[in-house]
Structure 1
Amino acid sequence: MPDAPQHDQPVPAEPATGQQPSGRERLRTALVRPTRGQLVVAVLLAVLGYAAVTQVRFTHVDNTYAGLREQDLVEVLSGLAGTSQRAESEIARLQRTRDDLQSDTGAREAALAQAQQQADSLAILAGTVPVTGPGIRLTVTEETGAVDVQSMVDTIQELRTAGAEAIQVNGEVRVVADTAVEDAPGGLLVGGQLVSSPYVIDAIGDPHTLDESGVNFPGGPRDLFADDGASTTVDQLTSLDIESVVDPAKQQFATPSS
């Protein structure tokens, strides 16, 4: 009898060889053997993280006052304003001190210059220093008679009136306010020194004025010496040296009052 037909039996499935790995396995694989793309992504993430940290730090530095309240900010600004005002006041004070010192220095220098000028003028008048400048040289030569004391005194006075600032006789005697002129054998005593003809009188001042107003005017020294029997010549000089000086007398009784 023929075998009864058999029904097809289901064929057992073969074990799947392409089973998908789990998430943990994929993570382990990525850590142990990362792919090229994963490396690139990791580098980009590191750069992004560094940039984020830097930005946070920079923002923290630049926003020092960002967390302060309005009242706190007002107090900070007030403190800065006060400090600035004190600094400006100190600068102004120092500038005033500098200006005062400069003014005082200028005033002292001006006073010293004026005092020096006065001292120089007094020294010239007192005859204690040599001087130089323009002036005239009056030469008086006895011819038919002797020069009279009064003629010499009047001549010196006329030269002073005409503006003579310094006078000397025969290059030896400086004539000052208290210089005496006296008769003496062989000539004249001028300031205690004997001088004789020709008498050479040097006077520093404006040459033209000294000549016209100090010597050559009617009844002046030229006429006086002519009456004494002496001739006169006047030379106007652009430069004249008076080197004789007077030793100042020591005062015995007078002292400057305070």
Structure 2
Amino acid sequence: MLADLGQRSERLRADLRDLEGTRARLERDAEGGTALEEARERATTYGILAGTLPAEGPGIELLISDPGNRVKAINLLDALQELRDAGAEVVQVDDVRVGVDSYFLDDRNGVRIDGRLLSVPYRFLAIGDPHTMTTALNIPGGLVRTLRGAGATVLITPRAKVAVGAVRSP
């Protein structure tokens, strides 16, 4: 009977070691899964910020109509800077995703962004806090007033969901 109890005790210890090993493997797998999920989330965030992935969220649509063709590249750059300063995380101008190296340029055909000719009305989609961006664009003596002084019409539409579909090449 004592020998039987000893064997049973040894089997239970072996089962316990197996279970502890299984638990340790599961914990490692769970941590690896969590780490993998966190890595995927970071990759998505970086892809959105780099402009290589589409994005959506609350924001605004900014339309600048320019019937007299008096809006210049510097005015559109000012619009972009105002949006960035107001916390815009993602911006698209017409069908061009804005990146850290984006530029506006005047040429005889109009205004270009990153070498692509823009069409009038100029359409900005910006993801960020709609109220903050709208307020920043409308500060006295700011962008909206400057554009209107140049003969442009400015329409700012806050949106609960702005979809930025344009992406940059990696």
Q: Same fold (TM over 0.5)?
A: yes
1:127 aligns with 2:56: no
Larger strand share, 1 or 2: 2
Aligned to 2:165: 243
Aligned to 1:29: none
Instruction: Kindly provide the amino acid, as one letter, of the partner of residue 17 in structure 2.
Output: R
Return the offset for 1:238. 2.0
Aligned to 2:5: 81
Q: Compare CA radii of gyration and give the structure with the larger one.
A: 1
- The answer to whether the Cα contact below 8 Å between 1:145 and 1:228 also exists between their aligned partners in 2 is no
Task: Name the CA distance, whole Å, in 1 between partners of 2:22 and 2:135.
Answer: 55
Task: Name the CA distance, whole Å, in 2 between partners of 1:212 and 1:106.
Answer: 45
Aligned to 1:98: 22
Aligned to 1:191: 114
Q: Deviations over 1:108-163 (max 9, x none)?
A: 11111111111111111122222233221101122456113222112212212322
1:138 aligns with 2:59: no
Q: Deviations over 1:85-126 (max 9, x none)?
A: 212211221121121111111111111111111111111112
Instruction: Kindly provide the amino acid, as one letter, of the partner of residue 129 in structure 1.
Output: L
Task: Name the CA distance, whole Å, in 2 between partners of 1:132 and 1:224.
Answer: 29
Structure having greater relative contact order (Cα 8 Å, sep ≥ 6): 2
Task: Name the CA distance, whole Å, in 2 between partners of 1:93 and 1:237.
Answer: 58
Q: Deviations over 1:52-91 (max 9, x none)?
A: xxxxxxxxxxxxxxxxxxxxxxxx51x2332232122112
Identity between Structure 1 and Structure 2 (%): 33
Gaps of 5+ in 1: 1-75, 249-258
Aligned to 2:93: 169
- The answer to whether the Cα contact below 8 Å between 2:73 and 2:112 also exists between their aligned partners in 1 is no
Aligned to 2:42: 118
Gaps of 5+ in 2: none
Q: Deviations over 1:169-199 (max 9, x none)?
A: 12x1111111111111232110110113211
- The answer to whether the Cα contact below 8 Å between 2:71 and 2:152 also exists between their aligned partners in 1 is yes
SS of 2:29's partner is helix
- TM-score of the two chains, using structure 2 as the length reference: 0.88
- The answer to whether the Cα contact below 8 Å between 1:187 and 1:197 also exists between their aligned partners in 2 is no
**Superposed, which structure 2 residues align to 1:9-158 within 5 Å?**
76-77=1-2, 79-143=3-67, 146-158=70-82
Aligned to 1:55: none
Return the offset for 1:237. 1.5
Task: Name the CA distance, whole Å, in 2 between partners of 1:161 and 1:93.
Answer: 59
Instruction: Kindly provide the amino acid, as one letter, of the partner of residue 179 in structure 1.
Output: S
SS of 1:246's partner is coil
Q: In structure 1, which of residues 233, 239, 243 is the aligned counterpart of residue 155 of structure 2?
A: 233
Task: Name the CA distance, whole Å, in 1 between partners of 2:142 and 2:8.
Answer: 80
Could you tell which deviates more after superposition, 225-234 or 98-107? 225-234
SS of 1:196's partner is coil
Task: Name the CA distance, whole Å, in 2 between partners of 1:100 and 1:106.
Answer: 10
- TM-score of the two chains, using structure 1 as the length reference: 0.60
Task: Name the CA distance, whole Å, in 1 between partners of 2:133 and 2:110.
Answer: 25
